[in-house]
Amino acid sequence: MESTSTRLSLLLTALSERDSIQQALLELPLPADQLERAAALFQAPDYLVDDVLVEESSQDVDTIMFLVDGKADALVRPTTVDGRPGEPQVVGHLEPLDVIGEIGLVMRSPRTATVKATTSVQALTIDLDSLAQLLQIHPGLANALVRWCAQNAAEKIGRTRWMHDEAYPIGMEVKGDQDLGAAQMPAPDFALADIERRYVSKSAKTTALIRTRLQALRCFEWEKEEVTEEVAKLFALVKVPSRRGILAEGELGESLLIMSKGIANIRKRDGELVHGWVASHLRPVHTLLGEVAFLNPGARTGTVLAATACELLEIEIGAVPALVACAPRLAQHLHLGLLRAVCPKLAETSAYRATVEAVAQGDWEQWFVEDDYYTSKLKALDLK
C-alpha cells in the first residue's frame, strides 16, 4: 500500500493541473520534508466496492474527504409531503478529485448524503484543526485545498442541476429602510448594456476607504488587523446606481464582488425573484456576488440588480496568489466564506434532484403538494 505522502503528492499534482491559480498556490514539487510534514496531518483510508464512505444524517462532520482514486455514488433520501423519508436516490457520481463532506464541515450540520463506493476507493481526509496546522506549514497548499472544495461544490451544482429555473429556492423580496420603492421595482428587460459598475479611481484615499470597508465586513472571520494596506490594494471599489445592473446572467466573469453598502436582488432571465442581498447580512451567501464564476471562470449564473445605490468591493481571480502570499489566514477565511456561500445551493439542488428521481419512480403526489406550479413542472418533465 502506498504511503500517505505518495497519495497526497498524487492529489496535489492532479489539483495543480486544474487551473493556473491552483498551480501558483501549490508551487510543486514540494520539498520532501515539507511534503512529509503535510502528509502527517492527513488520514489515508481505503474502501472496497459497496463500502459506505459517509452516512447521510451522520453527526461526524469534522472532516473533508478527497477521492484520490476510484468512484462512488452520492445518495439522498427525499422527504415526502407528510415528512416520511423515502428510498435513497442517486443524485451524483463521484470521481477522483471529488470532495466529500464539505457541506457538513462548513455548515456544521449532519451529513446531507450517503456516499457508497462503486469501485475500490483510495481517499485522503483532513479535519479543520489539521487544516489550520497545514496553513502554518504551507499556506498555499491549505488555501488550494479549501479553494478546491468550493470549486468542486460549484461544479457539482452544475452536474446535478437539470431544471435551471429550480436551481435556487424562491425567496422574499428584500426590503430596507432606504428607497423601499426601488427594492420593489419590477424586473426590467435586462441586457448586458444595463450593467453600470462605476470603478473609483485608484488612490491612497481609495485604498484607505477599501481597507475600512474590508475591516467592517462581518461575513468573514478575519481580524481587522489582518486587512493591511497591501491587502486593500488588491481590491477595487465599485459603485452602482439604484435600478442599474451589477451583474448579468451570461456575462463572462472572473471576479468576486462583495456587498459593502446597499440592497440588491437577483433575478432569473424571466424576471422572477430568486434571492435578495443586504449588505449588512451576516452570512457570506448574502454578501458575495459572482462566486461561481470566480471559482470556475465562465458565464454568470444570475442577474443582479441594484435595488438601492450599492457599493461593492471587487477582487479579480488573478489576485488570489498575491492575497495568499501577503495574508494567508485572511485568504483562508475568504475561501471558507466562498465554500459557505456555495454549499447551501449544493444541498438544496441535491435534495431537489432526489425528489425528482423519486417522482420518476412512483406517485408524485406523495412528494409534492398538488398545486398548479408543481403540476406544470412535473408535466414538463413527462414523469407521469
Pick left, alpha or beta for residue 27 (phi over 0 → left; psi -120 to 50 → alpha; otherwise beta). left
Taking the C-alpha atoms of residue 192 and residue 284, their distance in angstroms, rounded to an integer, is 26
Task: Encode pLDDT of 100-119 as tens digits.
Answer: 988 877 777 888 889 999 99
pLDDT attached to residue 286: 59
Nearest to residue 231, comparing CAs of 318, 327, 312, 140?
327
- C-alpha 344/C-alpha 107 separation (Å) is 8
| DSSP per-residue codes, 288-316 | EESHHHHHS-EE-SSEEEESS-EEEEEEE
- Which parts of the chain are beta strand (E)? 46-47, 52-54, 63-69, 72-76, 89-94, 99-100, 114-117, 121-127, 198-199, 236-240, 245-247, 252-253, 255-261, 263-267, 273-278, 288-289, 298-299, 303-306, 310-316
User: CA-based Rg of the chain, rounded to a whole angstrom?
Assistant: 22
Handedness of CA 137, 29, 333, 108 (dihedral sign): negative
Counted residue by residue, the chain has a size of 384
Measure the CA–CA gap between 184 and 242, rounded to whole angstroms.
12
Query: What confidence score (pLDDT) does residue 297 get?
Result: 86
Which residues of the chain register pLDDT less than 50? 161-189, 270-285, 383-384
pLDDT for the residue numbered 383: 44
Q: How many CA atoms lie within 13 A of 369 on its CB side?
A: 4
Residue 278's SS3 state is strand
For residue 202, what are the CA distances in angstroms to 192, 205, 234, 252, 326?
A: 25, 8, 11, 24, 20
Q: Using CA atoms, how far apart are residues 37 and 41, in angstroms rounded to an integer?
A: 7
> Does pTM surpass 0.85?
no
CB-based contacts of 196, cutoff 8 Å, min separation 6: 240, 241, 244, 245
Where do the domains of the chain lie?
4-160, 167-330
Confidence at residue 368, expressed as pLDDT on a 0 to 100 scale? 60
Give the SS3 label for residue 198: strand
State the cell numbers at 100.
Answer: 466529500
Which grid cell sits at 163? 431544471
Closest C-alpha to 43, from 65, 62, 71, 17: 65
Strand order in the sheet with 114-117: 52-54, 114-117, 72-76, 89-94
- Distances in Å between the alpha carbon of 46 and those of 49, 128, 320? 10, 21, 34
* pLDDT given for residue 170 in this prediction: 29
Architecture per CATH, 167-330: Sandwich (2.60)
What pLDDT does residue 165 have? 36
The model's pLDDT over 259-275, given as tens digits with 9 standing for 90+, comes to: 888 888 876 554 444 44
User: How many other CB atoms are found less than 10 A from the CB of residue 104?
Assistant: 23
Cell digits for 115?
Answer: 456516499
User: Which homologous superfamily does the CATH classification assign to the domain defined by 4-160?
Assistant: Jelly Rolls (2.60.120.10)
Q: What is the pLDDT of residue 110?
A: 84
